[in-house]
Amino acid sequence: MVETFDWTLYALLVPYFSGQLVGPGAAGTLVSYAGFAVGFLVRPLGSVVLGRFGDRRGRRAAMLVSMTVVAAGCFAFAALPTADYFGAGSVVLLVLVRMVQGLAVGAENATAAAYVTETAPPGRRMLYSGVSYGGVILGTVLCYLVLAALLAHFGPQQLRAGGWRAGFAVGGLLGLTAVLIRRWAQESPEFLACARTGRPLSDTPGSRSPRLVRRNATAVFLMTAGLTSGYYLAIVYLPQYVRHTAGPADAPGTAAMVAPLLVLLALMAATGALADRVGARPVFRAGLLLTALVTVPAYAAVGARRLPAWIAASLVLACLAGPLATANR
Protein backbone atom coordinates (compact mmCIF):
# COMPACT_ATOMS: atom_id res chain seq x y z
CA MET A 1 0.00 0.00 0.00
CA VAL A 2 2.74 2.45 0.97
CA GLU A 3 4.90 1.66 -2.04
CA THR A 4 1.95 2.35 -4.35
CA PHE A 5 1.15 5.58 -2.52
CA ASP A 6 4.73 6.83 -2.87
CA TRP A 7 4.86 5.82 -6.54
CA THR A 8 1.45 7.10 -7.69
CA LEU A 9 1.50 10.36 -5.73
CA TYR A 10 4.02 11.76 -8.22
CA ALA A 11 1.55 11.44 -11.09
CA LEU A 12 -1.31 13.05 -9.17
CA LEU A 13 0.87 15.97 -8.06
CA VAL A 14 2.39 16.69 -11.50
CA PRO A 15 -0.12 19.49 -12.28
CA TYR A 16 0.91 21.20 -9.03
CA PHE A 17 4.72 20.84 -8.88
CA SER A 18 5.61 20.99 -12.59
CA GLY A 19 5.46 24.79 -12.68
CA GLN A 20 8.03 25.11 -9.88
CA LEU A 21 10.38 22.22 -10.66
CA VAL A 22 10.28 22.15 -14.47
CA GLY A 23 8.59 25.24 -15.87
CA PRO A 24 5.16 26.77 -16.48
CA GLY A 25 2.63 25.75 -19.10
CA ALA A 26 2.02 22.55 -21.01
CA ALA A 27 5.73 22.01 -21.70
CA GLY A 28 6.52 21.75 -18.00
CA THR A 29 3.65 19.35 -17.45
CA LEU A 30 4.75 17.12 -20.34
CA VAL A 31 8.36 17.00 -19.12
CA SER A 32 7.13 16.08 -15.63
CA TYR A 33 5.04 13.24 -17.01
CA ALA A 34 8.08 12.15 -19.03
CA GLY A 35 9.82 11.73 -15.68
CA PHE A 36 6.95 9.47 -14.65
CA ALA A 37 7.50 7.44 -17.84
CA VAL A 38 11.27 7.17 -17.22
CA GLY A 39 10.55 5.60 -13.86
CA PHE A 40 8.56 2.89 -15.63
CA LEU A 41 11.33 2.28 -18.15
CA VAL A 42 13.83 1.31 -15.44
CA ARG A 43 11.40 -0.80 -13.43
CA PRO A 44 12.19 -4.03 -15.36
CA LEU A 45 15.90 -3.53 -14.61
CA GLY A 46 15.17 -3.14 -10.93
CA SER A 47 13.03 -6.25 -11.02
CA VAL A 48 15.90 -8.27 -12.48
CA VAL A 49 18.65 -6.90 -10.24
CA LEU A 50 16.86 -6.95 -6.90
CA GLY A 51 14.92 -10.05 -7.91
CA ARG A 52 18.24 -11.85 -8.09
CA PHE A 53 19.17 -10.31 -4.74
CA GLY A 54 15.92 -11.68 -3.30
CA ASP A 55 16.77 -15.17 -4.57
CA ARG A 56 20.12 -15.03 -2.80
CA ARG A 57 19.39 -13.08 0.39
CA GLY A 58 15.67 -13.66 0.89
CA ARG A 59 12.34 -12.01 0.09
CA ARG A 60 12.31 -10.05 3.34
CA ALA A 61 15.74 -8.51 2.71
CA ALA A 62 14.80 -7.49 -0.85
CA MET A 63 11.53 -5.91 0.30
CA LEU A 64 13.34 -3.96 3.01
CA VAL A 65 15.83 -2.56 0.50
CA SER A 66 13.17 -1.61 -2.06
CA MET A 67 10.91 0.12 0.48
CA THR A 68 13.81 2.05 2.01
CA VAL A 69 14.78 3.41 -1.42
CA VAL A 70 11.20 4.36 -2.30
CA ALA A 71 10.77 6.24 1.00
CA ALA A 72 14.08 8.04 0.54
CA GLY A 73 12.92 9.09 -2.93
CA CYS A 74 9.81 10.71 -1.46
CA PHE A 75 11.85 12.73 1.00
CA ALA A 76 14.13 13.75 -1.87
CA PHE A 77 11.15 14.98 -3.92
CA ALA A 78 9.93 17.03 -0.96
CA ALA A 79 13.32 18.78 -0.79
CA LEU A 80 14.02 19.34 -4.51
CA PRO A 81 15.12 22.91 -5.40
CA THR A 82 12.90 24.89 -7.75
CA ALA A 83 13.82 25.71 -11.33
CA ASP A 84 14.08 29.41 -10.41
CA TYR A 85 16.84 28.54 -7.94
CA PHE A 86 18.64 25.63 -9.60
CA GLY A 87 17.69 25.99 -13.27
CA ALA A 88 17.81 22.85 -15.43
CA GLY A 89 19.47 21.05 -12.53
CA SER A 90 16.08 20.66 -10.86
CA VAL A 91 14.82 18.72 -13.89
CA VAL A 92 17.89 16.48 -13.84
CA LEU A 93 17.44 15.76 -10.14
CA LEU A 94 13.73 15.09 -10.68
CA VAL A 95 14.45 12.47 -13.34
CA LEU A 96 17.32 10.88 -11.40
CA VAL A 97 15.25 10.46 -8.24
CA ARG A 98 12.39 9.01 -10.26
CA MET A 99 14.76 6.53 -11.93
CA VAL A 100 16.05 5.35 -8.56
CA GLN A 101 12.49 4.98 -7.31
CA GLY A 102 11.62 3.05 -10.47
CA LEU A 103 14.42 0.57 -9.83
CA ALA A 104 13.13 -0.04 -6.32
CA VAL A 105 9.45 -0.32 -7.30
CA GLY A 106 10.27 -2.78 -10.08
CA ALA A 107 11.94 -5.00 -7.53
CA GLU A 108 9.10 -4.50 -5.05
CA ASN A 109 6.38 -5.91 -7.28
CA ALA A 110 8.27 -9.05 -8.25
CA THR A 111 9.49 -9.76 -4.72
CA ALA A 112 6.08 -9.20 -3.12
CA ALA A 113 4.45 -11.48 -5.70
CA ALA A 114 6.96 -14.24 -4.92
CA TYR A 115 6.51 -13.75 -1.17
CA VAL A 116 2.72 -14.07 -1.35
CA THR A 117 2.88 -17.11 -3.63
CA GLU A 118 5.34 -18.89 -1.34
CA THR A 119 3.45 -18.17 1.89
CA ALA A 120 -0.20 -18.62 0.79
CA PRO A 121 -1.98 -21.92 1.61
CA PRO A 122 -2.31 -24.36 -1.31
CA GLY A 123 -5.64 -24.01 -3.09
CA ARG A 124 -6.12 -20.39 -1.96
CA ARG A 125 -3.25 -18.65 -3.67
CA MET A 126 -5.45 -16.64 -6.05
CA LEU A 127 -7.54 -15.36 -3.15
CA TYR A 128 -4.43 -14.36 -1.20
CA SER A 129 -3.00 -12.79 -4.34
CA GLY A 130 -6.16 -10.75 -4.88
CA VAL A 131 -6.26 -9.60 -1.27
CA SER A 132 -2.55 -8.78 -1.02
CA TYR A 133 -2.48 -6.95 -4.33
CA GLY A 134 -5.35 -4.95 -2.92
CA GLY A 135 -2.64 -3.01 -1.12
CA VAL A 136 -1.97 -1.37 -4.48
CA ILE A 137 -5.57 -0.20 -4.58
CA LEU A 138 -5.54 1.03 -0.98
CA GLY A 139 -2.35 2.95 -1.74
CA THR A 140 -4.08 4.68 -4.62
CA VAL A 141 -7.13 5.40 -2.45
CA LEU A 142 -4.79 6.99 0.08
CA CYS A 143 -3.26 9.10 -2.71
CA TYR A 144 -6.63 10.57 -3.64
CA LEU A 145 -7.55 11.16 -0.01
CA VAL A 146 -4.27 12.96 0.68
CA LEU A 147 -4.61 15.03 -2.50
CA ALA A 148 -8.18 15.94 -1.56
CA ALA A 149 -6.99 16.96 1.91
CA LEU A 150 -4.18 19.07 0.42
CA LEU A 151 -6.62 20.78 -1.94
CA ALA A 152 -9.04 21.46 0.91
CA HIS A 153 -6.27 22.84 3.13
CA PHE A 154 -4.11 24.78 0.68
CA GLY A 155 -6.37 25.32 -2.33
CA PRO A 156 -5.09 24.80 -5.91
CA GLN A 157 -3.00 28.01 -5.99
CA GLN A 158 -1.18 27.40 -2.71
CA LEU A 159 -0.68 23.77 -3.63
CA ARG A 160 1.14 24.91 -6.78
CA ALA A 161 3.12 27.43 -4.73
CA GLY A 162 4.78 24.72 -2.65
CA GLY A 163 2.07 22.90 -0.74
CA TRP A 164 2.76 19.84 -2.90
CA ARG A 165 5.91 19.19 -0.84
CA ALA A 166 3.71 18.17 2.09
CA GLY A 167 2.32 15.29 0.03
CA PHE A 168 5.78 13.86 -0.65
CA ALA A 169 6.75 14.32 3.01
CA VAL A 170 3.72 12.23 4.00
CA GLY A 171 4.87 9.56 1.55
CA GLY A 172 8.34 9.48 3.08
CA LEU A 173 6.98 9.11 6.60
CA LEU A 174 4.64 6.31 5.52
CA GLY A 175 7.62 4.65 3.84
CA LEU A 176 9.55 4.59 7.10
CA THR A 177 6.53 3.00 8.77
CA ALA A 178 6.44 0.31 6.07
CA VAL A 179 10.14 -0.42 6.61
CA LEU A 180 9.47 -1.03 10.31
CA ILE A 181 6.55 -3.34 9.47
CA ARG A 182 8.75 -5.38 7.13
CA ARG A 183 11.41 -5.78 9.77
CA TRP A 184 8.81 -7.76 11.73
CA ALA A 185 7.81 -9.95 8.76
CA GLN A 186 8.89 -13.59 8.70
CA GLU A 187 10.93 -14.90 5.82
CA SER A 188 9.27 -17.12 3.22
CA PRO A 189 9.30 -20.76 4.44
CA GLU A 190 10.04 -21.93 0.90
CA PHE A 191 13.12 -19.71 0.73
CA LEU A 192 14.32 -20.91 4.14
CA ALA A 193 13.87 -24.56 3.09
CA CYS A 194 15.90 -23.97 -0.07
CA ALA A 195 18.59 -22.13 1.89
CA ARG A 196 18.93 -25.09 4.30
CA THR A 197 19.20 -27.69 1.56
CA GLY A 198 21.21 -25.60 -0.90
CA ARG A 199 18.61 -26.20 -3.63
CA PRO A 200 18.06 -23.16 -5.88
CA LEU A 201 14.62 -21.58 -5.71
CA SER A 202 14.31 -21.99 -9.46
CA ASP A 203 14.97 -25.75 -9.31
CA THR A 204 11.61 -26.90 -10.68
CA PRO A 205 10.85 -29.16 -13.66
CA GLY A 206 9.84 -26.24 -15.86
CA SER A 207 12.96 -24.27 -14.99
CA ARG A 208 15.17 -26.89 -16.66
CA SER A 209 13.95 -25.78 -20.08
CA PRO A 210 15.51 -22.40 -20.96
CA ARG A 211 13.17 -22.10 -23.95
CA LEU A 212 10.10 -22.51 -21.73
CA VAL A 213 11.47 -20.00 -19.21
CA ARG A 214 12.05 -17.41 -21.95
CA ARG A 215 8.58 -18.02 -23.38
CA ASN A 216 6.89 -17.64 -20.00
CA ALA A 217 8.92 -14.56 -19.08
CA THR A 218 8.02 -12.89 -22.39
CA ALA A 219 4.34 -13.72 -21.95
CA VAL A 220 4.28 -12.32 -18.40
CA PHE A 221 6.14 -9.18 -19.56
CA LEU A 222 3.59 -8.50 -22.30
CA MET A 223 0.59 -9.26 -20.08
CA THR A 224 1.91 -6.96 -17.38
CA ALA A 225 2.51 -4.17 -19.92
CA GLY A 226 -1.09 -4.28 -21.11
CA LEU A 227 -2.54 -4.60 -17.62
CA THR A 228 -0.46 -1.75 -16.23
CA SER A 229 -1.40 0.53 -19.12
CA GLY A 230 -5.11 -0.03 -18.52
CA TYR A 231 -4.79 0.47 -14.77
CA TYR A 232 -2.89 3.76 -14.94
CA LEU A 233 -5.11 5.00 -17.74
CA ALA A 234 -8.02 4.77 -15.32
CA ILE A 235 -6.43 6.03 -12.09
CA VAL A 236 -3.96 8.64 -13.42
CA TYR A 237 -5.13 9.81 -16.82
CA LEU A 238 -8.89 9.87 -16.22
CA PRO A 239 -8.73 12.68 -13.60
CA GLN A 240 -6.64 14.77 -16.01
CA TYR A 241 -9.02 13.94 -18.86
CA VAL A 242 -11.91 15.19 -16.74
CA ARG A 243 -9.91 18.26 -15.78
CA HIS A 244 -9.47 19.24 -19.43
CA THR A 245 -12.99 18.36 -20.55
CA ALA A 246 -15.12 19.36 -17.57
CA GLY A 247 -13.01 21.90 -15.70
CA PRO A 248 -10.42 21.87 -12.85
CA ALA A 249 -10.67 19.22 -10.16
CA ASP A 250 -11.62 20.29 -6.65
CA ALA A 251 -11.37 18.45 -3.35
CA PRO A 252 -14.82 16.73 -3.57
CA GLY A 253 -14.20 15.73 -7.18
CA THR A 254 -10.82 14.26 -6.30
CA ALA A 255 -12.25 12.35 -3.34
CA ALA A 256 -14.96 10.91 -5.62
CA MET A 257 -12.27 8.75 -7.27
CA VAL A 258 -12.09 6.72 -4.06
CA ALA A 259 -15.38 4.93 -4.78
CA PRO A 260 -14.19 3.21 -8.00
CA LEU A 261 -11.07 2.00 -6.22
CA LEU A 262 -13.10 0.50 -3.38
CA VAL A 263 -15.25 -1.28 -5.99
CA LEU A 264 -12.05 -2.65 -7.53
CA LEU A 265 -10.75 -3.77 -4.14
CA ALA A 266 -13.86 -5.82 -3.39
CA LEU A 267 -13.98 -7.36 -6.87
CA MET A 268 -10.32 -8.37 -6.72
CA ALA A 269 -10.97 -10.54 -3.68
CA ALA A 270 -14.05 -12.03 -5.36
CA THR A 271 -12.34 -12.77 -8.67
CA GLY A 272 -9.32 -14.16 -6.84
CA ALA A 273 -11.55 -16.67 -5.07
CA LEU A 274 -13.20 -17.47 -8.42
CA ALA A 275 -9.80 -18.10 -10.01
CA ASP A 276 -9.01 -20.66 -7.31
CA ARG A 277 -12.03 -22.62 -8.58
CA VAL A 278 -11.94 -22.17 -12.36
CA GLY A 279 -8.28 -21.29 -12.94
CA ALA A 280 -6.39 -18.04 -13.32
CA ARG A 281 -6.14 -18.05 -17.12
CA PRO A 282 -9.87 -17.68 -17.99
CA VAL A 283 -10.35 -15.00 -15.31
CA PHE A 284 -7.33 -13.06 -16.58
CA ARG A 285 -8.36 -13.28 -20.24
CA ALA A 286 -12.01 -12.39 -19.63
CA GLY A 287 -11.04 -9.32 -17.64
CA LEU A 288 -8.69 -7.98 -20.31
CA LEU A 289 -11.26 -8.60 -23.04
CA LEU A 290 -13.90 -6.67 -21.10
CA THR A 291 -11.40 -3.85 -20.50
CA ALA A 292 -10.73 -3.56 -24.22
CA LEU A 293 -14.46 -3.37 -24.96
CA VAL A 294 -15.44 -0.94 -22.18
CA THR A 295 -12.61 1.62 -21.97
CA VAL A 296 -13.17 3.70 -25.12
CA PRO A 297 -17.00 3.97 -24.76
CA ALA A 298 -16.60 4.92 -21.09
CA TYR A 299 -14.14 7.72 -21.85
CA ALA A 300 -16.27 8.95 -24.76
CA ALA A 301 -19.29 9.16 -22.44
CA VAL A 302 -17.28 11.19 -19.92
CA GLY A 303 -16.06 13.53 -22.66
CA ALA A 304 -19.65 14.06 -23.82
CA ARG A 305 -20.68 14.68 -20.20
CA ARG A 306 -23.15 11.82 -20.31
CA LEU A 307 -21.43 9.81 -17.57
CA PRO A 308 -19.81 10.95 -14.31
CA ALA A 309 -16.09 10.24 -14.15
CA TRP A 310 -16.36 8.05 -11.07
CA ILE A 311 -18.87 5.75 -12.79
CA ALA A 312 -16.66 5.45 -15.87
CA ALA A 313 -13.68 4.65 -13.66
CA SER A 314 -15.74 2.06 -11.76
CA LEU A 315 -16.64 0.30 -15.01
CA VAL A 316 -13.08 0.18 -16.30
CA LEU A 317 -11.57 -0.88 -12.99
CA ALA A 318 -14.25 -3.55 -12.48
CA CYS A 319 -13.10 -5.12 -15.73
CA LEU A 320 -9.48 -5.04 -14.54
CA ALA A 321 -10.28 -6.69 -11.19
CA GLY A 322 -9.74 -10.25 -12.43
CA PRO A 323 -6.41 -9.61 -14.20
CA LEU A 324 -5.09 -7.60 -11.25
CA ALA A 325 -6.08 -10.30 -8.75
CA THR A 326 -4.35 -13.07 -10.70
CA ALA A 327 -1.32 -11.15 -12.02
CA ASN A 328 0.64 -11.67 -8.78
CA ARG A 329 0.60 -15.42 -9.36
- Ordered alpha helix ranges (H), 87-204: 89-119, 125-132, 134-158, 164-184, 189-197
Higher per-residue confidence, 327 vs 68: 68
Q: How far apart are CA 275 and CA 258, in angstroms?
A: 26
Please list, in sequence order, all residues whose beta carbon lies within 8 angstroms of the beta carbon of residue 11, skipping any fewer than 6 positions away.
33, 36, 232, 236
DSSP secondary structure of 245-309: HH----HHHHHTTHHHHHHHHHHHHHHHHHHHHH-HHHHHHHHHHHHHHHHHHHHHHHHTTSS-H
Q: Give the model's confidence band at 59: pLDDT under 50 very low, under 70 low, under 90 confident, else very high.
A: confident
Q: Does the reported pTM lie above 0.85?
A: no
> What pLDDT score was predicted for residue 250?
52
The CATH number for 10's domain is 1.20.1250.20
How distant, in Å, are the alpha carbons of 81, 148, 154, 252 from that of 162? 11, 16, 10, 21
Render pLDDT for 162-172 as a digit per residue (tens, 0 to 9): 999 999 999 99
> What pLDDT score was predicted for residue 234?
77
Measured at the CA of 57, the angle between CA 181 and CA 170, to 5 degrees, comes to 30
Domain extent, residue 159, equals 2-327
Phi first, then psi: give them for residue 24, nearest 5 degrees: -75, 165
The mean pLDDT of 130-142, rounded to a whole number, is: 80
CB contact at 8 A, 77 and 173: no
> What pLDDT score was predicted for residue 198?
62
Q: How far apart are CA 296 and CA 72, in angstroms?
A: 38
How many domains, the chain? 1
Render pLDDT for 208-239 as a digit per residue (tens, 0 to 9): 577 888 888 888 888 878 887 887 787 777 77
